[in-house]
Every structure is written in C-alpha cells, then in structure tokens.
Amino acid sequence: MKHLLALSLGLALAATSINAFAADNGGFVRAEIGNSKIDAGGADGDDTSFSLRGGYFFNANFGVEGFYTNLGEDSSDGVSAEANAFGLGIVGKKNFSEEAHTGGFISGRLGVSRANTDIGVSGIGSVDDTSTQPYIGIGGGYDFSPNFGLSLNIDYMKADAFGTDLKFTTTSLGLEYRF
C-alpha cells in the first residue's frame, strides 16, 4: 500500500510539474532540414541533412537543448558512408521586440556532440567509429507568436573517424514550436 501511495504522489507531482513546465512556453521542439558540407581529410561532398532538437528556455535568452542530426550519406563504387550525431548544449537567443519569443531574433548554440560514422563496402560489410567533439551554431529568424518561429541556422561540427578528421558545416531551415 505504501508503494501505491508513493507512486500516486510521484505521478501527481510529475503532472503538476509538467503543467508548470508547459505554462511558461519554456519547452521547445525544433525540426530542421538543410544541407551538410562534409570535409573528410581534403575530400569533400555534401548531402541533405535533418535534425530534431528539443529543450527548455529558462528565460527569454538562455536555454538548454538535446538533439539528433543525420549529417548525410554518400556512396559510390560500392563504398558507402553515413554520419549522424547526438548532442547536448546551451542555447542563447536575443529577440528584437520587447515581448519574449516574438519578432526577429538572433541565436547561438554551443555544446558537445557524439558523432557516429559508418563506412560500408558492398559484399564485404561495414564498420563504424564514434567520437565526441564540441559543436557551435548561429542562427537568425522570426518568431510569429510566443509558440511558433522559423529560423535559418549554420552549425559547425567535427568528428574523428578511422583516424581522419571530418568537418561538417550544416545550413538548415528550422521550424520551432514552444510549449
């Protein structure tokens, strides 16, 4: 019975916290799609990228984020390569209107990403390698309401795969919903 009472109390507190969390438009989710320019030890390429980000703004100018990004893939002559990353970081934002999350804005982000690179050879198999490196990004856009905004972002990320330095420069269009 004590366990049931503790579980009920925990669920009630969690529901209250979720309502408080949602009441101030601090939580956000953002979907981004764009293009990644990839530099792999002097060889370069590019591909479509997409990212899903989410986090929480503690106030109008500062927050935290977590993300997953597919940085792209390439294949030729039976060899394929694919890269993706997970990360955690901080977000800074400055709106040019007096009301938070409305009007034009600039933003920046900084954190740590864990990149995974997978190389495959047709008929033989594939291998992967991971590395943890810092990432940085800037953006600008327009918040149409306290809940909805659109942005153009440029992110820079590095990885070390199989002894080769990889550099990813991603330009993306982001759609953000705040709750």
DSSP letters along 67-102, please?
A: EEEEEEEEEETTEEEEEEEEEEEEEEEEESSSSTT-
Residue type, 136: I
Q: Are 163 and 149 in contact (CB under 8 A)?
A: no
Q: Which CATH class is domain 26-178?
A: mainly beta
Q: Are 35 and 170 in contact (CB under 8 A)?
A: yes
SS3 of residue 25 by DSSP: coil
Question: How far is the C-alpha of 83 from the C-alpha of 100, rounded, in Å?
Answer: 36
Over residues 7-16, the pLDDT tens digits come to 444 544 454 4
The encoded tokens of residue 37 equal: 């320019």
The encoded tokens of residue 65 equal: 């984020």
**Domain ranges in the chain?**
26-178
Over residues 142-177, the pLDDT tens digits come to 999 999 999 999 999 999 988 889 899 999 999 999
Task: Please report which confidence band the pLDDT of residue 22 belongs to, taking 50, 70 and 90 as the band edges.
Answer: very low
The encoded tokens of residue 116 equal: 């995974």
Percent of the chain with pLDDT over 90: 65
Give the CA distances from residue 28 to residues 38, 53, 103, 125, 146, in Å, rounded to whole numbers and listed in that order: 28, 8, 17, 39, 11
Over residues 83-138, the pLDDT tens digits come to 999 999 999 999 999 988 999 999 999 999 999 999 888 889 989 999 999 999 99
